[in-house]
């Protein structure tokens, strides 16, 4: 029997055994899957079982050393369970064919990739997406990403990244949803649902992978990969909820993080992987390490490759990304009694289950459809969605004298190193995005403004002139290009250009890879030459609009004081230029709100709205001595969590509760009237927070518990209501019991975390 016949026969057996989970119901589906996998595992040798635990990349988008060599031979030998870092139905089909036709048991591979904020059509970076506060919009972005990824041969995406981040020095703050566990959890759920749909075996759904479990965002000093150490109470209440929300939403896989937790690296942390994830949360999917996070435990001081691999498996890891420690050492560890066969088999079963659920035993080429690739990737409707989604992610931070929106007439001086720069539009982790296909802000303004607007352009400054920074940022290509003109020449040219215009639009900020992995910064303001440029532009006396491109909250104290209008556009993706222009000219009235606090200076970090009170809180107006404050800066942030302006204004009035007592088992409804007091239609995100006044442990001064989006015509008032039950007031106490404690509460509703109306109630 030739190879093809043999593989066809094995599929036929697979098809007979497989029955869709959704059709037959969970338990019979589960039994069928168990039987199928048990039968398959009976045929597998120990080496083949260990081979399934090996996840390799043949190169491409790598974030560390490439360990795997001769990947084709390994696949043929049954030493690879999955591949990541390749795209395209043809390439993936080729790799799949090696597994399915040439390996002894014809077990298909899974194919993963970092599809983080879109695949070929790139959406705003996740921090920007979160600023939309629109979970259905975010879900839609994940759905489109899944459609494109599956059209490109993939079936596994390393997203959502849900690490709570309160330190904007940490470059990876760009990849998540900011600082809040409640909002972060809602977004985690939306993304998992968007990627996975209702049936993983469909050819348009992918298995999601929530990451980086756990607490990666709390790296000390905001330095990537650094130590994490925190109390269990903080862990459970503030950092774990979004991972749990993803698990509750049925996420198929979980990726561990690089950091230590309680002194033990997450990738060998039994408490995290087994006690919390498997036992407390009931997670039944696949656990995968991060890129070489198993072998990196050698540096953590956990032993040699054999020792760290055994520790990782024993802690609960299923699949080893790139380290090849499982492949090269587990057999020896089994012989030496350092791991059990049961552990290896359990892990192997998890990998095979993922493949089964994805329908790969049924049809290993399910995701390799050339026709679909042609029609789906960067389709007109995907690009249109990217434009709409980007518009909704932008945050208007300041708009003095209603300088925005701009008129579609007159002369605009478009200035700045990011104003006409395709390379930096997509932001970090856009591995399959094509910067050449991105719309620059210059192009967007031309598209939207029409012929009545004259545009004059000058670069004005380099993104940075710091040679060390340039070298480090440009490792994967030139994001910061140094102009042949000197900084002085560029600046003078920009000032001359500004003097000829009615208004200046300065597009400044960061290069795409000044945030993302391994992109921590100790200075998070504009780079010196950009700030000089901005100062010179302001000095011309022309009205200046600062359009920021950035992957983190930046320190903008000078800018806030001196520049009349600031629009934060993050990295808006493929259609960012059009979307920015839509907002600048008022085609879309900005509605985004920041999801991570903007500090006044780096010394305030970590700074976040849901902090605990101290015994000596400082209130503005108090005598500051012996209070918890700074001598040289206020406690308050520059822009608080939840802040964002609109071209219209909203006022809040008449906060009321239908009952001042919440009976356990009952509900109360809180309402507020929101009025559009401006002259344009606008969208507002109404935010509801609570504070438990007395608790068995110190409780945050505010915690987000709900939000609603409304659109109001000028002059229109709407009553917005939130319902609260005892469940909404639960938290983990010092015994890690999830409880609500009777007593006094304050409820706040407002336009951001600092500007709220309040009402009191009691929990009985
Ligand atoms: C990152 C992950 C990513 C993985 C695979 C790692 O360096 O931390 O977020 O999914 O590489 O590319």
Running along the chain, 764 residues long, what does each successive block of 10 average in pLDDT? 42 41 66 97 98 89 66 95 95 95 98 98 98 98 98 98 98 98 98 98 97 98 98 98 98 98 98 98 98 98 98 98 97 98 98 98 94 93 98 98 97 98 97 97 97 97 98 96 97 98 98 98 98 98 98 98 98 98 98 98 98 96 95 97 98 98 96 98 98 98 98 98 98 98 98 98 97
Query: Is 764 in a helix, a strand, or coil?
Result: coil
Burial 408-424 (b: 16+ CB within 10 A, else e): eeeebbbbbbbbbbbbb
> What is the Å distance from ligand 1's center to 290 Cα?
6
The answer, yes or no, to whether any atom of ligand 1 lies below 6 A from the CB of 172, is: no
Residue closest by Cα to atom 4 of ligand 1 = 291
Looking from the CA of residue 255, the nearest atom of ligand 1 is: 10
Residue 738 near residue 244, CB atoms below 8 Å: no
Catalytic, 3? Answer no
> What is the Å distance from ligand 1's center to 291 Cα?
6
> What is the Å distance from ligand 1's center to 190 Cα?
21
Measuring CA to CA, which residue among 688, 692, 665 is closest to residue 133?
Answer: 688
Query: What whole-number distance in Å separates Cα of residue 182 and Cα of residue 471?
Result: 38
Measuring CA to CA, which residue among 444, 434, 575 is closest to residue 505?
Answer: 444
Residue 35 near residue 387, CB atoms below 8 Å: no
> What is the Å distance from ligand 1's center to 63 Cα?
7
Q: Are strands 260-261 and 253-256 parallel, antiparallel or unpaired?
A: unpaired
Residue 137 near residue 711, CB atoms below 8 Å: no
Query: Is 415 in a helix, a strand, or coil?
Result: strand
Q: Which CA distances in Å does 11 have to 7, 93, 694, 744?
A: 6, 16, 62, 63
Which domains occur in the chain, in start order? 385-604 (3.40.50.1700), 650-763 (2.60.40.10)
User: Best substitution site from 58, 63, 267 to test ligand 1's pocket, by max atoms within 8 Å of Cβ?
Assistant: 63
Catalytic residue among 134, 180, 290, 362: 290
Looking from the CA of residue 61, the nearest atom of ligand 1 is: 12
Place of tokens 């919390």: 276
Query: What whole-number distance in Å separates Cα of residue 160 and Cα of residue 177?
Result: 10
> What is the Å distance from ligand 1's center to 169 Cα?
19
8 alpha carbon, distance to own chain's centre: 40
Measuring CA to CA, which residue among 539, 528, 554, 531 is closest to residue 504?
Answer: 539
User: Best substitution site from 291, 294, 322, 516 to test ligand 1's pocket, by max atoms within 8 Å of Cβ?
Assistant: 291
Name the token pair of 261: 């937790």
> What is the Å distance from ligand 1's center to 554 Cα?
24
Residue 406 near residue 585, CB atoms below 8 Å: yes
The answer, yes or no, to whether any atom of ligand 1 lies below 6 A from the CB of 518, is: no
Query: What whole-number distance in Å separates Cα of residue 246 and Cα of residue 269?
Result: 20
What pLDDT is stored for residue 25 in this prediction?
A: 56
Looking from the CA of residue 63, the nearest atom of ligand 1 is: 7
pTM reported for the whole predicted model: 0.96
Measuring CA to CA, which residue among 105, 3, 95 is closest to residue 48?
Answer: 105
Q: Which CA distances in Å does 55 have to 343, 471, 527?
A: 17, 31, 40
H or E stretch including 264? strand 264-265
Name the token pair of 271: 């408490």
Measuring CA to CA, which residue among 298, 307, 147, 176 is closest to residue 241?
Answer: 176
The DSSP line for 324-383 is -HHHHHHHHHHHTTSS-HHHHHHHHHHHHHHHHHTTTTT-TTTT--HHHHHHHTT-HHHH
The answer, yes or no, to whether any atom of ligand 1 lies below 6 A from the CB of 175, is: no
Measuring CA to CA, which residue among 207, 197, 314 is closest to residue 267?
Answer: 314
Q: What is the DSSP letter of 650?
A: E
Name the token pair of 365: 């080429």
Query: Is 453 in a helix, a strand, or coil?
Result: strand
Query: What whole-number distance in Å separates Cα of residue 86 and Cα of residue 367?
Result: 13
Query: What whole-number distance in Å separates Cα of residue 488 and Cα of residue 467?
Result: 17
Cα angle at 545 between 540 and 547, to 5 degrees? 130
What pLDDT is stored for residue 659 in this prediction?
A: 97
Place of tokens 């917005």: 720
What pLDDT is stored for residue 60 in this prediction?
A: 61
Q: What residues contact 623, with CB distance under 8 A and at least 6 apart?
A: none
> What is the Å distance from ligand 1's center to 245 Cα?
21
Query: What whole-number distance in Å separates Cα of residue 670 and Cα of residue 640?
Result: 23
Measuring CA to CA, which residue among 620, 596, 617, 619 is closest to residue 606?
Answer: 596
> What is the Å distance from ligand 1's center to 74 Cα?
22
Query: Is 592 in a helix, a strand, or coil?
Result: coil
Q: What is the dihedral of CA 704, 706, 710, 714, to 10 degrees?
A: -50
Residue closest by Cα to atom 5 of ligand 1 = 291
Measuring CA to CA, which residue among 685, 423, 461 is closest to residue 576?
Answer: 423
**Cα torsion 658, 659, 664, 665: sign:** negative
Q: Which CA distances in Å does 712 have to 108, 214, 543, 678, 758?
A: 53, 40, 29, 10, 22
What pLDDT is stored for residue 437 in this prediction?
A: 97
What pLDDT is stored for residue 63 in this prediction?
A: 65
The answer, yes or no, to whether any atom of ligand 1 lies below 6 A from the CB of 510, is: no
Q: How far apart are the first and last CA of the chain?
A: 74
The answer, yes or no, to whether any atom of ligand 1 lies below 6 A from the CB of 169, is: no
Work out the number of other CB atoms within 10 angstroms of the CB of residue 262: 14
What pLDDT is stored for residue 697 in this prediction?
A: 98
Work out the number of other CB atoms within 10 angstroms of the CB of residue 300: 18
Q: What is the DSSP letter of 478?
A: -
The answer, yes or no, to whether any atom of ligand 1 lies below 6 A from the CB of 296, is: no
What pLDDT is stored for residue 117 in this prediction?
A: 98
The answer, yes or no, to whether any atom of ligand 1 lies below 6 A from the CB of 291, is: yes
> What is the Å distance from ligand 1's center to 696 Cα?
39
**Cα torsion 336, 341, 345, 347: sign:** negative
The answer, yes or no, to whether any atom of ligand 1 lies below 6 A from the CB of 63, is: yes
User: Best substitution site from 290, 322, 323 to test ligand 1's pocket, by max atoms within 8 Å of Cβ?
Assistant: 290
The answer, yes or no, to whether any atom of ligand 1 lies below 6 A from the CB of 582, is: no
The answer, yes or no, to whether any atom of ligand 1 lies below 6 A from the CB of 114, is: yes
What pLDDT is stored for residue 531 in this prediction?
A: 98
Looking from the CA of residue 431, the nearest atom of ligand 1 is: 12
């Amino acid at each position: 029997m030739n190879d093809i016949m043999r593989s066809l026969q094995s599929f036929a057996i697979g098809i007979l055994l497989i029955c869709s989970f959704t059709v037959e119901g969970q338990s019979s589906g589960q039994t069928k899957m168990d039987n199928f996998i048990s039968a398959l595992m009976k045929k597998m040798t120990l080496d083949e079982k260990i081979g399934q635990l090996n996840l390799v990349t043949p190169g491409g988008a790598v974030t560390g050393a490439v360990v795997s060599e001769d990947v084709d031979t390994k696949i043929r030998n049954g030493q690879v369970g999955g591949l990541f870092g390749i795209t395209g139905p043809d390439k993936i089909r080729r790799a799949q064919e090696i597994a399915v036709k040439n390996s002894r048991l014809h077990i298909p591979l899974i194919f993963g990739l970092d599809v983080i904020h879109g695949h070929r059509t790139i959406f705003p970076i996740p921090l920007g997406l979160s600023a939309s506060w629109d979970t259905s919009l975010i879900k839609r972005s994940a759905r489109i990403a899944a459609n494109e990824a599956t059209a490109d041969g993939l079936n596994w995406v390393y997203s959502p990244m849900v690490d709570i981040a309160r330190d904007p020095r940490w470059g990876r703050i760009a990849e998540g949803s900011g600082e809040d566990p409640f909002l972060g959890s809602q977004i985690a759920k939306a993304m998992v649902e968007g990627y996975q749909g209702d049936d993983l075996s469909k050819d348009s759904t992918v298995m999601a992978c929530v990451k980086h479990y756990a607490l990666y965002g709390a790296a000390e000093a905001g330095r990537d990969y650094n130590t994490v150490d925190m109390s269990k109470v903080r862990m459970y209440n503030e950092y774990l909820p979004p991972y749990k929300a993803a698990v509750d939403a049925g996420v198929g896989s979980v990726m561990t993080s690089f950091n230590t937790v309680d002194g033990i690296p997450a990738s060998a942390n039994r408490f995290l992987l087994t006690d919390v994830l498997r036992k407390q949360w009931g997670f039944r999917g696949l656990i995968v390490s991060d890129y070489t996070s198993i072998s990196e435990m050698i540096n953590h001081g956990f032993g040699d490759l054999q020792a760290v691999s055994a520790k990782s498996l024993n802690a609960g890891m299923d699949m080893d990304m790139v380290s090849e420690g499982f492949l090269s050492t587990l057999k020896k560890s089994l012989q030496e009694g350092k791991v059990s066969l049961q552990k290896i088999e359990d892990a192997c079963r998890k990998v095979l289950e993922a493949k089964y659920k994805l329908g790969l035993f049924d049809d290993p080429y399910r995701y390799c459809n050339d026709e679909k690739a042609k029609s789906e990737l960067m389709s007109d409707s995907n690009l249109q969605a990217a434009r709409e989604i980007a518009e909704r992610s932008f945050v208007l931070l300041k708009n003095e004298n209603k300088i925005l929106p701009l008129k579609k007439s007159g002369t605009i001086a478009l200035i700045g190193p990011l104003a006409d720069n395709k390379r930096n539009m997509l932001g970090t982790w856009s591995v399959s995005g094509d910067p050449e296909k991105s719309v620059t802000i210059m192009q967007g303004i031309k598209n939207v403004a029409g012929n009545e607007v004259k545009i004059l352009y000058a670069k004005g400054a380099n993104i940075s002139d710091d040679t060390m920074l340039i070298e480090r940022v440009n490792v994967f290509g030139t994001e910061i290009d140094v102009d042949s003109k000197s900084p002085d020449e560029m600046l003078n040219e920009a000032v001359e250009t500004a003097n000829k215009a009615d208004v200046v639009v300065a597009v400044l900020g960061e290069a795409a890879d000044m945030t993302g992995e391994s992109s921590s910064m100790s200075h998070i303001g504009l780079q010196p030459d950009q700030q000089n440029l901005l100062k010179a532009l302001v000095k011309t006396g022309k009205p200046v609009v600062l359009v920021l491109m950035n992957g983190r909250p930046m320190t903008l104290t000078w800018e806030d004081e001196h520049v009349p209008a600031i629009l934060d556009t993050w990295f808006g993706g493929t259609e960012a230029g059009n979307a920015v222009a839509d907002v600048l000219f008022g085609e879309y009235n900005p509605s985004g709100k920041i999801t991570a606090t903007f500090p006044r200076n780096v010394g305030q970090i970590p700074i976040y709205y849901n902090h605990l009170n101290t015994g000596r809180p400082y209130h503005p107006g108090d005598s500051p001595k012996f209070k918890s404050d700074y001598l040289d800066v206020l406690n308050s942030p520059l822009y608080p969590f939840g802040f964002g302006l609109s071209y219209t204004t909203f006022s809040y009035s008449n906060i009321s509760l239908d009952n001042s007592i919440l009976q356990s088992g009952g509900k109360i409804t809180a309402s507020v009237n929101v009025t559009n007091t401006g002259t344009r239609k606008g969208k507002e995100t109404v935010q509801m927070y609570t504070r438990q006044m007395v608790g068995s442990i110190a409780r945050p001064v505010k915690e987000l518990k709900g939000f609603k989006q409304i659109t109001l015509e000028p002059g229109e008032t709407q009553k917005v209501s939130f319902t609260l039950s005892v469940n909404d007031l639960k938290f983990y106490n010092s015994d890690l019991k999830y409880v609500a404690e009777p007593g006094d509460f304050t409820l706040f509703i407002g336009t951001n975390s600092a500007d709220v109306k309040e009402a009191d109630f009691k929990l009985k």
